[in-house]
């Protein structure tokens, strides 16, 4: 789990055995601003995400207990969707007022959630839910009305973000641990063996390019200033003009 920044605070999701807690530190001094204990046998490998809900900002957490929203200023639990998962790894994404998240682990479920709820929101704020098919490790990416995901068995999928229905599915081979990224009408995917696949965003699968890096690729790429930045075990690549 990576930290999240919010209003000058560094928020850490330290959900692991034997004790789990949410921790907020002042980013300038490192002093604790709040800490909320979550008890035993709760774990998460996911990175938390702060989103803007109708009632104010919410910290979204994907954990072995389920998906939950917290007050990022205090750590207080606001809402939850109870659903056990052994290894929750993917982090949520947020677009146009909707949270999209996959639970991870063995082709787990993925769903769309409306923020701003109170208590158990599994029947009131889940816009749609698909029981199986999501990646084990990598997160989803939202781009131009579609959710794109790359599984650990070499299957790529596009999902209609509004309805949750699958738009297309394509087997390309490879194991995808890195999350896909999107820009300039394209989806970029990197497999563990260094294969870089460039897809055209849209309603049908269309591979624009395949390239091979001579490096193992686990980390998700980043896009900035017209360049694609890729970190392997031993090097960082900058690809672009």
pLDDT of residue 15: 95
CB count in 10 Å sphere of residue 143:
20
The tokens describing 27, both together, are 């980013």
CA gap 51, 67 in Å, rounded = 14
CA gap 51, 94 in Å, rounded = 7
The tokens describing 68, both together, are 């939950």
pLDDT of 151 higher than 90: no
pLDDT of 25 higher than 90: yes
CB count in 10 Å sphere of residue 194:
16
CA gap 83, 105 in Å, rounded = 13
CB 189 within 8 A of CB 196: yes
The pTM assigned to this predicted structure is 0.94
pLDDT of residue 18: 85
Percent of the chain scoring above 70 in pLDDT: 100
| Most confident region among 56-60, 149-153, 194-198, 202-206 by mean pLDDT | 56-60
Q: How far is CA 145 from CA 93, 168, 193, 201, 241, in A?
A: 13, 14, 29, 10, 28
What number is the average pLDDT over the span 176-196?
Answer: 94
What number is the average pLDDT over the span 21-48?
Answer: 95
Query: Can you tell me which residue has the tokens 């709040």?
Result: 34
Percent of the chain scoring above 90 in pLDDT: 87
Tens-place pLDDT, residues 102-136: 998 888 899 999 999 999 999 999 999 999 999 99
Tens-place pLDDT, residues 53-101: 999 999 999 999 999 999 999 999 999 999 999 899 999 999 999 999 9
Q: How far is CA 105 from CA 11, 88, 102, 211, in A?
A: 24, 6, 9, 28
pLDDT of residue 106: 80
Backbone angles phi, psi at 167, to 5 degrees: -85, -45
CB 217 within 8 A of CB 178: yes
SS3 category, 167: strand
166 closest CA partner among 158, 155, 176: 158
Find residue 58's DSSP bridge partners. 51
183 closest CA partner among 139, 221, 217: 221
What number is the average pLDDT over the span 42-57?
Answer: 96
pLDDT of 154 higher than 90: no
How sure is the predictor about 214, in pLDDT bands with cuts at 50, 70 and 90? confident
pLDDT of residue 218: 93
The b/e string for 27-43 (b: 16+ C-beta within 10 A; e otherwise) is beeeeebbeeebeeebb
What number is the average pLDDT over the span 140-146?
Answer: 97
Query: Can you tell me which residue has the tokens 């999902």?
Result: 159
The DSSP symbol for 226 reads: T
């Amino acid at each position: 789990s990576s930290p999240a920044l919010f209003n000058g605070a560094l928020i850490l999701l330290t959900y692991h055995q034997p004790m789990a807690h949410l921790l907020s530190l002042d980013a300038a001094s490192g002093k604790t601003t709040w800490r909320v204990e979550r008890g035993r046998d709760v774990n998460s490998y996911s990175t938390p995400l702060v989103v803007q809900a109708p009632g104010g900002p919410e910290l979204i957490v994907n954990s072995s207990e389920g998906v939950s929203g917290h007050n990022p200023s205090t750590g207080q639990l606001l809402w939850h969707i109870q659903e056990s998962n052994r290894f929750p790894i993917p982090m949520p994404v947020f677009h146009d007022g909707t949270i999209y998240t996959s639970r991870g682990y063995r082709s787990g479920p993925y769903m769309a959630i409306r923020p701003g709820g109170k208590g158990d929101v599994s029947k009131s704020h889940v816009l749609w839910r698909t029981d199986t098919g999501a990646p084990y490790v990598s997160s989803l990416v939202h781009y131009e009305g579609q959710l794109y995901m790359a599984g650990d068995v070499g299957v790529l999928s596009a999902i209609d973000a509004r309805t949750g229905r699958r738009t297309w599915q394509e087997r390309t081979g490879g194991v995808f641990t890195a999350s896909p990224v999107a820009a300039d009408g394209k989806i970029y995917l990197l497999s563990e063996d260094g294969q870089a696949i460039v897809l055209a965003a849209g309603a049908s699968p269309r591979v624009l390019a395949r390239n091979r890096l001579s490096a193992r690729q686990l980390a998700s790429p980043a896009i900035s200033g017209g360049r694609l930045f890729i970190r392997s075990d031993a090097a960082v690549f900058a690809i672009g003009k």
